[in-house]
Structure 1
């Protein structure tokens, strides 16, 4: 009897020893997604981790310490608060899937380290690369607050008087050609722009720099402004009567203003000292004023017109960044408004916007002036304080 029992034990051990060991647990995929609340984006993420087989956490405590996130190697976010990826919650959503809630946005290429033993696996550390919609720059744009490293771009400007060179048609035409070269305009756009400049009626637009600014709008997203001012294709049904450098009428210290003659034609008056500015800085200005067609002004119209001119200014900086350092007051104003636009954006904070960011960031940090959005800044500029009808 004892012999039979011993044989049974030997056979049992022998049979069990032939069973293959369990497949090592491995993460197959790790995908990061931005979290939303009330349809608004947050600076938080959820990481979905799918494993190759079923697992069973040893303990909840072990699970909570089993994961660690790391930035890509040599990431510019290293040491920055935006590079911190604190794990807020870990949830087992299926026998092969875990979701990790993280208190930040995650850059594509970040890695997740997993202690396998917390999932009843072997005593080893596993690593998987995370896929995310955000590049490292995207994380900065979506979650960061921007400011100026060089405060000279917002320093008060000394007003300069225009010179004879500013009024020389040939000099300005050469500058217009250089501008087209800088922005790598197509042959068709170059021909169109120069034809507009050469053919523009000087009795309506006497200043060469304003003719250049209007002509340069051709080929941009705001090229409709040219037709609006120089043709009947606008709400007045007629072209502008005059576009030039003269003191804008009224008591307010305005950079530019649209008024109307007795026939309802527009008169665009631009502060005379601005003739000394590079004509490129006048491009956004005339695009802005072209929005004002009827004789009814509103906060919403000013916000839209300002958004168009600043967006156009940002495009100009891509081909000629030195414009930001120009001594004209226009450059300072555009720089301030461009920063506000960069720090705004409700639906997509990583893009330029006009509404408050869902992250609650100030649009002009460390300026001593509190504005929640680009729209707030424009409203206060024109009306002294944010109008209750301003977009929020």
Structure 2
């Protein structure tokens, strides 16, 4: 097997599910013998997560003094100004491939990869249309990898011709015993009743993710359901543009105790496995890694039809698919899952079987095939 030298660049202080997906991919490629280096523009969680995985890391100067989440994601002068640092890093490590995973890094590394002769692979993980600067940056890319057909369809036709759809990989699968341990541990940590039902959302508390739907559900559900008190869990930090309805409804509905918002949590898999149901009511969602992770852990899921998950979920079989703004339906399905243990178990088992097809090993082999096609 040909082994490649691969660079994965990130904004140091900006991190989300897409970044985690790419680090899982980078780790799998490293484990298959490739020489992987993670570059972060400035310190932050991206650097820390890569280091925690034992990946080789290199710190580059931050793109700006302005925090990552406070900078608009558009073409900015500092992306061009980073050219010398990027070019020197490519040359110093003799990189065969630069694999970008967000639009900022695509804009920043497209020209250095072209000038150095390194092959550019661009992962397309967004629901945003390709602006002129993005389309121009995708022009030199040898291959584009889209996380769903939904995301691929957003690209212009001439870019779709070199785009392959590859769902995100999953690395953590839990047994019923592990889930039972997580349920006990998290409820004790939160001082909740041992039999409490827990409905979760995981991800940044930004407007598009619509975490406030969880407040609507808790407000509408009777207390208790099937003899169990019902609590909500919203794990993630505030990111602009904020979902301002989340805090407003949490207060207006008197849910400050029932709807728990602990911010970013670790280990996230334990918190996810502790839930009875996990929701993703987002709009324009390329794929929603949190739902795939929940399926792998064996937790029933309910997701929005506005996005790439319609390519993975079969409504009523391995999860539920609902229009994001049909709140009454979200309330109804959550109530059904909490009331019907057999239904919840059937959905969870089918979901975990689906998730098994997205294993890290299979994903890494398919990425290698894309690399070979790009370099040949």
Using the size of structure 1 for normalisation, the TM-score is 0.21
TM-score (norm 2): 0.22
Bigger helix fraction: 2
Larger of the two Rg values belongs to structure: 1
Whose relative contact order is higher, 1 or 2, with alpha carbons under 8 Å and at least 6 apart? 2
